[in-house]
Structure 1
Amino acid sequence: MTTSKYNKIKKAAKAGHYPDTFRTCLNMIPEGVQNSLPWHQLAQLVDTIHESYENGHTAGWKEAQ
């Protein structure tokens, strides 16, 4: 992935404000998918992965209480 594409994804994704979280979510996407999708779809996918994690974390926390 080019630096330009990476920066566009990071800027467009809500998770881009959190560097470690952003990298973790982006790294969950297979390299072939990263290379084939345009930056705006990857930004949406990164945010979807992050939202899924947050939803699971919140549900687990509520269940544990």
Structure 2
Amino acid sequence: ELAKIVRVIRKLDDSAPHDSVIVLDGTVGQNAMSQVKAFSAVADVSGLIVTKLDGSAKGG
């Protein structure tokens, strides 16, 4: 789906997208690397935002 979005945007502007930011959940752990690699294969990543860095896996 991401590849299709990039193609549609490039029809309007050949230099688009100007920035591509990936937002990851901090609780994902090592799986984040595979997500970044898959995202990078389709779009050039210019930024990364990691959420939920203050959480822990411990309950209660």
Higher relative strand content: 2
Higher relative helix content: 1
TM-score, structure 2 normalization: 0.27
TM-score, structure 1 normalization: 0.26
Structure whose CA Rg is larger: 2
